[in-house]
Structure 1
Amino acid sequence: MRGIFAGIAVVATAGCAQPKQLSVDGAWVRLAAVQGRPAAAYFTIHGGPADATLINVTTDVAIRAEMHESMASGGVTSMKPIPRVAIPANTDVVFAPGGRHVMLYNMNPGITPGGRLITLTLSFADGTRILQNATVVGAGDTGTK
């Protein structure tokens, strides 16, 4: 009898699990190969129970940050600024090399690969802000271990 009640308790608590929340992980920043050129930030946004819209990403170690998207057309790769990114509910949106990314202009020259983590602030249209630490890698590094 005790085993039956234990099984019921497990099923009951599983139904009470909190819904998945909007979150960010896997953040990293690749420094530029040439001093004075922009760095790039990458991360994954995990959509929560409702649609969201990312409207800005900032960091206190760069003067300016812009969301961009790379695209290829006719054998030519280009990139353009994007003002916002839709984050559908319960969907992952990846910022990665060759796709969406955040350009970080005029980075603090004291930021070095393997040094301290930097903090990215992701701002959403509904007023939500997520602070996410990012590792720093050198030019050409992939950010993955």
Structure 2
Amino acid sequence: MRRLLMRMAPVMCAAAMLTGCLKAETVETEDPWVRLPAVAGRPASGYFKMHGAGKDAVLINVAADLAVRTEMHESMKGPGGTMTMTPLTRVAVPARSDVVFAPGGRHLMLFGVNPALKPGGATILTFTFSDGSRMQRKAWAIAAGDPAPK
């Protein structure tokens, strides 16, 4: 038995090292944060970076525990240089690619934010995908005039 273990040790070590090289097989979300509204009662906005897994995914919903309703939107330049905003019902998350929700582009709109959410506090975002999978991440809140977190 001891000889068998001695022979298997290099194989087991190699297998352990290889598992560290594999990419995650689930979508990951990085640095979620929420900018609180400057005027009470107006919507807050939310941002994050998402890393695609080993296969394509589709984000179909994001919910915030401290908001009545959350929508995905995209801002873009319209005719004459004006900014327009369009609601999104689905966002493709290609395999091994990044999808960014950032100011001036894709973002979340959080309506009916609980007034208890203050700068330095957090809300839980629940991300739902078309395959039924979900994940939750804590999103830190910042004041309307504060710089974005780094």
Which TM-score band applies after superposition, normalised by the shorter structure? Answer: 0.7 to 0.9
Percent identity between matched residues is 49
Name the CA distance, whole Å, in 1 between partners of 2:56 and 2:87.
Answer: 22
1:61-110 CA-to-partner distances (Å, cap 9, x unmatched) read 11111000000123101111010000000111010000000100010011
**Equivalences for residues 1-145 of structure 1 within 5 A:** 12-17=15-20, 18-20=22-24, 21-73=26-78, 74-115=80-121, 117-145=122-150
Name 1:3's counterpart in structure 2: none
Deviation at 1:139, TM superposition (A): 0.4
Name the CA distance, whole Å, in 1 between partners of 2:10 and 2:81.
Answer: 59
- Cα RMSD between the aligned structures? 1.8
Deviation at 1:7, TM superposition (A): 9.2
Aligned length: 139
Deviation at 1:15, TM superposition (A): 2.7
Contact 1:29 / 1:143 at 8 angstroms: preserved in 2?
Answer: no
Deviation at 1:12, TM superposition (A): 4.8
Q: Considering only CA atoms, is the larger Rg found in Structure 1 or Structure 2?
A: 2
Deviation at 1:143, TM superposition (A): 2.7
Q: 1 or 2, which has the higher helix percentage? A: 2
Name the CA distance, whole Å, in 1 between partners of 2:47 and 2:76.
Answer: 16
Match of 2:85, as an amino acid?
A: M
Contact 1:70 / 1:98 at 8 angstroms: preserved in 2?
Answer: yes
Match of 1:126, as an amino acid?
A: D
Name the CA distance, whole Å, in 2 between partners of 1:46 and 1:26.
Answer: 11
Deviation at 1:13, TM superposition (A): 3.6
Q: 1 or 2, which has the higher strand percentage? A: 1
